[in-house]
Amino acid sequence: MSQKSNIHFDISERKILLRIIDIASVLGLLYLVGMVFSFDYFRIDASRWMWSIVLALYLTVFATIFELYNLQKAAKFEIVVQNIILTSSVTVLFYLLTPFYTPELPDNRMQIIYFFLSINIALFLWRYAYIVLISAPRFFKKVLLITDSKSVMPILEALQKSDPNYKIIGVVDFDHQIRNYNLPEDLQRFGSTNIAQTVADNQISEIVVATPEAEAMTVSLNNQLLSLLEKGVPIREYTQVYEEITHRIPVQHVERDFYRYFPFSRSNQNKLYLFFHRILDLLFSVVGLLFGLIISPFILIGNIIGNRGPVFYTQTRVGKNGTHFKIYKLRSMVVNAEQDGAQFAAKQDTRVTKFGRFLRRSRFDEIPQFINVIKGDMSVIGPRPERPVFVAELSKKIPFYEVRHLVKPGVTGWAQVNAKYGMSEEDSLEKLQYDLYYIKRRSFFLDISIVIKTLSTIIFFRGQ
């Protein structure tokens, strides 16, 4: 059987495609505008090559901050329109104010309007084409899932929520129990006797094996998969796919030989990385504290009106290697908020004051934690430090929970910019998955990505 492949794009390919054509479409339209109209502000030629590089850099950075490369949102035109306007506005503003490497401000201010409109039109046209063509079902990756009946729904929800173009079209019903579960109507059920024919008839792009029950993985089923693998059909293990698509570690699906599966990032022991990481910690902390001083009059007035009590509060948290330290924060809850004992914060927690809610959503309540960073208790980036009582409780219920204490806790982190606020054991599990992904893949590139995503969280007021 020759595998007939259908065209599809992986997550990384689509993000690269978006970035490249964003830049190409903007520069291309600006070049055409300069050729056809009397537009002298921005010219593309050999003597002005730096102009294009600076514009491309600004466009990429601000498009990332304003979530133009979030694939879930990139497929929704109404969200894309809003984010394009934000991206182009800030890009043009920074470009106009950058000395030396960009053109001087033109005498005719209409040139700036042409520049702004050209960037918007180029992005609008390309992103509309992306939604209509690339995000269309014809480019979905068609996946066949092999798993036990109990795991079908969690797998479907996890994978397709993270990547709408990753389409599980069918599942191999080898235990004859799948029909007992409330599955989507468009999910097909296939037998396990002739998987090769199923792959050929449905143009399957990939088979995912989600570690089904041992007795179900018969010699016949294994031989069929081996034969398909030899014929070029990609067959992947679920935990690898999950990590790649969701950027989380599926600890609930990993056996107790976790350390064999989980190679820690070399950056955790790399002296050069740790040195520069510490330097950046200090730089960010100084900038953060200076910003805190600038807005301190506003904070004091807001606290007097909306909080009525101490401005700061301290709390014991668990740090690197399980050591305890005192964390500093701006108070956002009523005084004596936990007189009945420690408890998770709720979504509409009545203990949070009106001004405190603003502090949380803006992340201003975290500013005093830069003192902890300077002291060495925390880093700017890392897993959020949790309270000892919750650590003791969650460590008993969630496997590998204490692994997150192998690195310094952070003011922000991979879990903070991706997961919901920890209001339950389920939320804590999700946050742990993100934290372990960070520890496993820790790098300068990932740190930069977290900083940019944190800016997005602050700009879109998503703090909790």
Quickly count: other Cβ atoms within 10 Å of residue 196's Cβ. 16
3-state DSSP assignment of residue 159: helix
Query: If you search the block for the tokens 């090769």, which residue do you land on?
Result: 196
Answer yes or no: are the C-beta atoms of 252 and 399 closer than 8 Å: yes
Radius of gyration of the CA atoms of the chain, in A: 26
pLDDT of residue 159: 81
Q: Closest Cα partner for 38 from 101, 102, 106? A: 106
pLDDT tens digit sequence for 50-97: 889 999 999 999 999 998 998 888 888 889 999 999 999 999 999 988
CA distances in angstroms from 212 to 149, 173, 209, 217, 349, listed in the order given = 9, 11, 7, 7, 40
3-state DSSP assignment of residue 167: strand
pLDDT tens digit sequence for 6-28: 556 666 778 889 999 999 999 99
Q: How far apart are CA 423 and CA 265, in angstroms?
A: 29
Query: If you search the block for the tokens 């100084």, which residue do you land on?
Result: 286
3-state DSSP assignment of residue 8: coil
Structure tokens, 287: 């900038």
- Residues present in the chain in total: 464
Is the domain defined by 140-246 classed in CATH 3.40.50.1380? yes
Structure tokens, 139: 């480019």
Where do the structural domains in the chain lie, given as residue ranges?
A: 11-134, 140-246, 266-459
pLDDT of residue 3: 46
pLDDT of residue 170: 87
Structure tokens, 160: 């397709």
Q: How far apart are CA 370 and CA 284, in angstroms?
A: 8
pLDDT under 70: residue ranges of the chain:
1-11, 137, 149, 174-182, 211-217, 253-265, 336-349, 421-423, 461-464
Q: Closest Cα partner for 381 from 253, 274, 286, 236? A: 274
pLDDT of residue 29: 93
Q: How far apart are CA 450 and CA 452, in angstroms?
A: 5
Q: Closest Cα partner for 439 from 399, 417, 464, 410? A: 410
Quickly count: other Cβ atoms within 10 Å of residue 304's Cβ. 12
What are φ and ψ of residue 179, in 5° steps?
Answer: -65, -20
List the beta bridge partners of residue 352.
333
Q: What is the DSSP letter of 264?
A: P
Quickly count: other Cβ atoms within 10 Å of residue 25's Cβ. 19
